[in-house]
Amino acid sequence: MCGIAGVVAFQKDLTRETAVMRAMSATLLQRGPDSEGTWVSPHAALLFRRLAVIDLAGGSQPMLANEGDQLAAVLDYTGEIFNFQELREELSSLGHPFRTRSDTEVVLRAYMQWGVACVERLLGMFAFAVWDVRREELVLIRDRFGIYPLYYLPTPDGVIFGSEPKSILAHPDVETRLDLEGMREMLAFAPTPGASVFKGLREVRPGHIIRVGRAGLTERCYWKLEAREHRDDLETTIRTVRSLLEDAVTRQIVSDVPLCALLSGGLDSSAIAALAADIMRRQGRRERLRTFSVEYAGQTERFRPDEMHGTPDAPFVAEMVRHLGTEHTEVVVSTEDLVAPDARTAVIRALDQPAAGGDMYTSLYQLSGAIRKHSTVALTGDASDELFGGYLWFHNDWYLQARTFPWLLASHQLEMMTGLLDRDLVRRLDVPGYQAARYREALTEVPHLSGDSPEERRIREFTYLSMTRYLRFILDRKDRISMAVALEGRVPFSDHRLVEYVFNVPWAMRRFDGREKSLLRAAVKDLLPESVLQRVKSPFPTTQDPSYRRALRDGLARLMEDPSAPIRPLLDLERVNAVLKGKASGIDIGITRPSIDLALQLNTWLEIYRPRLDL
C-alpha cells in the first residue's frame, strides 16, 4: 500500500512549483515510508510514496511507458493486483516487455494495451492515476469497493488529487473549508458516495473512473452490484463459496514482506486465519502464521453482554490460537492508552476528520502499531457481515421494518453525535432529514429481480446498503488507521467474484439453518473449532471500563476551562454543564458517550486543520 498525489493544470507551468509538490508528498509519508518519486511536466505532476510489498527492488514510481521512442503514459499506482501474474503472461504474449516483477508494471502495460477498460480485468484492491501524454488526459480509477482511498478537487484549469485529503489541502491554492453539508457528512453516519467533509473536495467513487482533460471532467461507473438469478443448489453453493474464498486467500497471502492475520475470535477473522494457515501448510511453507488480537484491559473480567456484544473476544481468540498453532500476540489497551493525547491526535490526523467511537479507532491504532513491529501486511475478516448477513439488522423484524439505514437504529433514536452541539446548529444541520434523503437515494440504486418476494427484496436492500454504505466506514477505518503506521490491510471477503456470487444467493439459502451467516459457517466448518463455529456475531468491541467515560468527562471539563477552545462556539454550554455536574453519561438528556467523544475530537480537529467555518 502506498500514497499517490498530483496536479493537472492546463494554464500553468508546474515545473516551477516543485516546492508545492514536495509539500503535498510530505503529507503521505506514513503511507509510503520506503521511498518516494516525482514526475513533473508543464501541465501534469505525479507524486508517489512507496510501501514496498511486492518486488522490493523494482516497482519504483511514477512509472513511465513509451510508445516507440515517445513517452506515452505515466502511472501513479497504489494497491495490490492479485491476478497480476496471469495478466503479465497475457500481456507478454501480446508483445509487452517487462523490466520488473511488480504488479505496478502490469497495471501500466495493461493500460497501454486496453486503455481504461483494463480496470475490468483487475482482481484486487487499488487506486491509481494515469497521465496519458498522448491525449493530455488524467485518468483516476478506484477499485470496486473503495478499499483504497482516492480524492480529487476540480480546479478552474484542471484537478488536484491525492490518496488522502491532507495531500490536497497541502496545496497553497486550496482553502480548507467546512460547511453545513460537510458537517452533515461528518455526523450523519449515512455517507453520500463521492462526498467528503471538506467543501469542494470529492472522493472517487468505488468502481468509478474520472477523466480530466482540456474539455473538462467526466465520470463513469465501470462496476456495480447486479441482480442475477441463482441456479445452484445448496450443496453446490456451499462448495462454490468455499472455492472462491480459498482462491481469494491463496492470492492474498502472496507477499515479499512479513504477513499476518488479525483474530477477534469471531467467525470471519477465524475463517480467514484458518484458511491462510491451511494454505501455507499445503504450500510447504515452514513458518507459522502470525496472528494478532486486541483486548481492553480488564474487559473479560468486567464484561457485560449488550444488544450487540453477547460474549467477550479473548476466550475465543485463545481457542483459535490453540487450534491453529499460530504465533500469536495479544495487544492489551488500557484506558490510559485510549485517552493518550498523542494517540488520539494521530487517529484524527489519519482520518482527516473526527470519528464516532473513539475507543475503537484508538485501540485499532494501538493494535496496528504493535503489528507493524513484526509484519507489513495483515489479513482481516472485514466485509463478511455485510455480505453474508451477520449483523443483527438482517434478523430482527424491528430493523427490517424501519425506513432508514438499519445501523442508525442501534442508537434507539438518541443523538449519537450531536448531543452537545448548539441547538440552533443542530436544527440547521437537520441530520435526521439528511439521513432520510441519503436513504431514499440509496434505495433507488438497489437492483432487484422481478420474482423477488417482499422478504427477498428487503434483504437484498439491506445487503446492498451494507456493502455500498456501511462497509465504507469499515474499509476507511481499516485503511486510514493501519496506514498511519504503514501497515497494509487485505480483505479477502471483498473479492468481487465472491461478492457477486453471494449477493445473488437467496436469503433462505444464506441462512438455511436459521442462523446468521449459515452459508459461511457451512463453507468453513472443517477448519474451525465448534465453539468458534457456533459463536454469535459480536462486532468490534468497545471498552466497558467506566474509567473511560470518566476520562472523557474530565477532558470535557478541561476543554471548558479554555476560553480559546475552537469548539466552544459550536457547543450547547447548558448541556455541557449538565454532563459535568455529575451525570456520568448524560443519557437521561439524550447525550451519549460518542457525543462527548465527538466534542473532544472535533475540538482537536479544528485546532489541527483550522478550517474556515461556513456554518
Angle between helices 180-187 and 431-445 (to 10 degrees): 80
Contacts of 565 (CB under 8 A, 6+ apart): 559, 603
pLDDT tens digits for range 327-354: 999 999 999 999 999 999 999 999 999 9
pLDDT score, position 588: 56
**Please, are residues 155 and 18 in contact by the beta-carbon 8 Å criterion?**
no
The answer to whether residue 414 scores a pLDDT higher than 70 is no
| d(C-alpha 127, C-alpha 368), whole Å | 22
pLDDT score, position 424: 97
Considering 2, 118, 221, 260, which one is annotated as catalytic? 2
pLDDT tens digits for range 495-505: 999 999 999 99
CATH 3.40.50.620 domain range(s) in the chain = 234-533
The answer to whether residue 373 scores a pLDDT higher than 70 is yes
Q: Give the CA-trace dihedral at 135, 137, 140, 141, to 10 degrees.
A: -20
**In 3D, which of 228, 233, 226, 225 has the Cα closest to residue 508?**
233
CATH 3.60.20.10 domain range(s) in the chain = 3-221
Confidence of residue 357 (pLDDT cuts 50, 70, 90): confident
pLDDT score, position 590: 62
Place of cell 453471494: 502
pLDDT score, position 555: 94
Fold of 3-221: Glutamine Phosphoribosylpyrophosphate, subunit 1, domain 1 (3.60.20)
> H or E segment at 609?
helix 593-609
Place of cell 501497515: 487
**Alpha carbon of 9 to those of 142, 293, 321, 346, 567: distances in Å?**
22, 46, 54, 32, 36
Question: What is the mean pLDDT of the segment spanning 355-383?
Answer: 93
**In 3D, which of 54, 50, 30 has the Cα closest to residue 38?**
50
Gyration radius of the chain's alpha carbons: 24
Read off φ and ψ for residue 364, nearest 5 degrees.
-65, -35
| d(C-alpha 180, C-alpha 323), whole Å | 51
Q: 561 burial class (0-12, 13-18, 19+ CB within 10 angstroms)? A: exposed
pLDDT tens digits for range 545-601: 889 988 999 999 999 999 999 999 999 999 999 888 865 455 555 678 888 999 999
**Please, are residues 192 and 438 in contact by the beta-carbon 8 Å criterion?**
yes
Q: Alpha helices, DSSP H only, in 296-354?
A: 299-302, 314-324, 335-338, 341-351
Confidence of residue 456 (pLDDT cuts 50, 70, 90): very high
What is the residue type of 375? Answer: S
What is the residue type of 407? Answer: W
DSSP 565: -
| Three cell numbers written together for 472 | 465504507
**In 3D, which of 301, 309, 298, 378 has the Cα closest to residue 332?**
298
pLDDT tens digits for range 387-407: 999 999 999 999 999 899 999
> H or E segment at 229?
none
Torsion sign, CA atoms 580, 582, 584, 589:
negative
SS3 608: helix
What is the share, in percent, of the chain residues with pLDDT greater than 70? 96
Residue ranges of E strands in 398-485: none
**In 3D, which of 130, 162, 138 has the Cα closest to residue 148?**
162
Residues facing 159 on adjacent strands: 8, 154
Higher pLDDT, 260 or 30: 260
| Three cell numbers written together for 224 | 456495480
Q: What is the pTM of this model?
A: 0.95
What is the residue type of 166? Answer: K
Cβ atoms < 10 Å from Cβ of 286? 6
Specify whether 260 is catalytic.
Answer: no
> H or E segment at 597?
helix 593-609
The least confident of 7-11, 44-48, 550-554, 602-606 is 550-554
Confidence of residue 12 (pLDDT cuts 50, 70, 90): very high
Cis peptide leading into residue 154 (ω within 30°): no
The least confident of 2-16, 290-304, 460-474 is 290-304
pLDDT tens digits for range 144-190: 999 999 999 999 999 999 999 999 999 999 999 999 999 999 999 99
**Alpha carbon of 460 to those of 160, 394, 507: distances in Å?**
37, 10, 8
| d(C-alpha 235, C-alpha 208), whole Å | 35
pLDDT score, position 411: 59
pLDDT score, position 406: 93
408-426 burial code (b ≥16 CB/10 A, e <16): bebeeeebbbbbbbbeebb
Higher pLDDT, 241 or 486: 241
Confidence of residue 537 (pLDDT cuts 50, 70, 90): confident
Q: Give the CA-trace dihedral at 143, 146, 148, 151, to 10 degrees.
A: 100
Q: What is the mean pLDDT of the chain?
A: 93
pLDDT score, position 584: 47
**Please, are residues 218 and 211 in contact by the beta-carbon 8 Å criterion?**
yes
| d(C-alpha 341, C-alpha 347), whole Å | 10
pLDDT score, position 307: 67
The answer to whether residue 57 scores a pLDDT higher than 70 is no
| d(C-alpha 484, C-alpha 380), whole Å | 17
What is the residue type of 476? Answer: D
Place of cell 488522502: 164
SS3 484: coil
Domain 234-533 has CATH 3.20.20.80: no
